[in-house]
A = this chain, B = another copy of it.
Amino acid sequence: MKRIGVLTSGGDAPGMNAAVRAVVRAATHLGMEVVGIRRGFQGLYQGDMRLLGPRDVANTIQRGGTILLTARSEVWRTPEGRAEGARHLREWGIDGLVVIGGDGSFHGAHFLSQEHGVKVIGVPGTIDNDLYGTDHTIGYFTAVETALAAVDKLRDTAASHERIFVVEVMGRHAGHIALDVAVAGGAEEVFLPEEDMPVTSVVDVINESVKKGKASSIIIVAEGYPGGAMAVSKAINEGTGLETRVSILGHIQRGGTPVSSDRILASRLGEAAVQALADDVSGVMVGRNNGIIAFTPLEETWARRKEISRDLYRCAKTLSV
């Protein structure tokens, strides 16, 4: 393997630049060249790419977003689009491709590999942490920290006004962010897409809180819980007559300087992805499980569900007494 490509795709996640940097530098270390492809698969389709050396990624490890940019690509959903992308890879003499992104991106990589025999390695870059085959995804730790900082600020106001805040955090299909934020933020309750918990159960939580003398409450709701924070707020209002404040944190959770855990994970996975290509591995995502680098077939990363931690969920309940 002489030359590899790298792209970021899907929603941006903090630490993507650290992963790109690791890919470039690990490849350099192994004597390989790296081509950076801009705007994900859309840029691959359009041939928007250029060589990246180790100095090109200097001082990027701490940057949020992605210097390679990212974009949606409708054309990539078509065999013609992917054929055009494969053609660009051949033209540039690219032997393998590192795709940094989430499950949608891995689908795109999978088809490219299947249809055109391109060697691909996926690197999990998404704040949602919803990929099977890795304990954590790049960006997840930073998203949790950003959401937690917001919850800390809201608690100042909640405590001062003795109010109830219902806070919606990101996670369309997964409650990982919500659960971590609930435990770390000392929330009174958490609503997850993974749990079949009726929204009205919040009424007991609030009544119980009031009885215990809690003057304020923070309720965390994952974006993917049916109805989101608005539904929980409505249930509280209807069931207790108490007013709530709703806060939907939104896109701020995607940005910002990545925290150390995301940078370290990105560094490890970026390096491992290049090593995997050098070892002629393809069609897998590189992840880290229990501290060990592990490979999972791309199809499994989206087909199998990564469960939330039952222990942590129980812990959240216990400590909200």
Chain A 172-190 per-residue mask, 1 if CB under 8 angstroms from chain B, else 0: 0000000011011110000
Residues on the B chain within 8 Å of A146, using CB: 153
Q: A245 at interface (Cβ–Cβ under 8 A)? A: yes
Interface size of A in residues (CB-CB distance below 8 Å): 81
Residues on the B chain within 8 Å of A145, using CB: 259-260
Q: How far, in Å, is A213 (CB) from chain B's closest CB?
A: 6
Residues on the B chain within 8 Å of A319, using CB: 21-22, 25-26, 29, 267, 271
For window 1-54 of chain A, which residues contact chain B by CB distance below 8 Å? 8, 11-12, 14, 16, 21-22, 25-26, 28-29, 54
Q: A131 at interface (Cβ–Cβ under 8 A)? A: no
Other-chain contact of A255, B8, B29, B71, B157 (Cβ < 8 Å): B157
Closest Cβ neighbor of A64 among chain B residues: B156
A170 to B135, CA, bound (A): 28
Q: Is the CB of B65 within 8 A of A157?
A: yes
Q: Is the CB of B264 within 8 A of A71?
A: no
Q: How far, in Å, is A70 (CB) from chain B's closest CB?
A: 5
Closest Cβ neighbor of A257 among chain B residues: B152
Looking at A12, A14, A181, the one whose CB has the most chain B CB atoms below 10 A away is A12
Q: Is the CB of A318 within 8 A of B26?
A: yes
Q: A62 at interface (Cβ–Cβ under 8 A)? A: yes
Residues on the B chain within 8 Å of A197, using CB: none
For window 263-307 of chain A, which residues contact chain B by CB distance below 8 Å? 263-264, 267-268, 271, 290-291, 293
Q: Is the CB of A260 within 8 A of B144?
A: yes
Other-chain contact of A141, B22, B71, B150, B261 (Cβ < 8 Å): B261
Q: How far, in Å, is A283 (CB) from chain B's closest CB?
A: 23
Residues on the B chain within 8 Å of A155, using CB: 59, 62, 65, 255
Q: Is the CB of A183 within 8 A of B26?
A: no
Given contacts A22-B319, A155-B255, A180-B260, 4 further A-B contacts (CB under 8 A): A12-B160, A62-B152, A148-B260, A153-B251
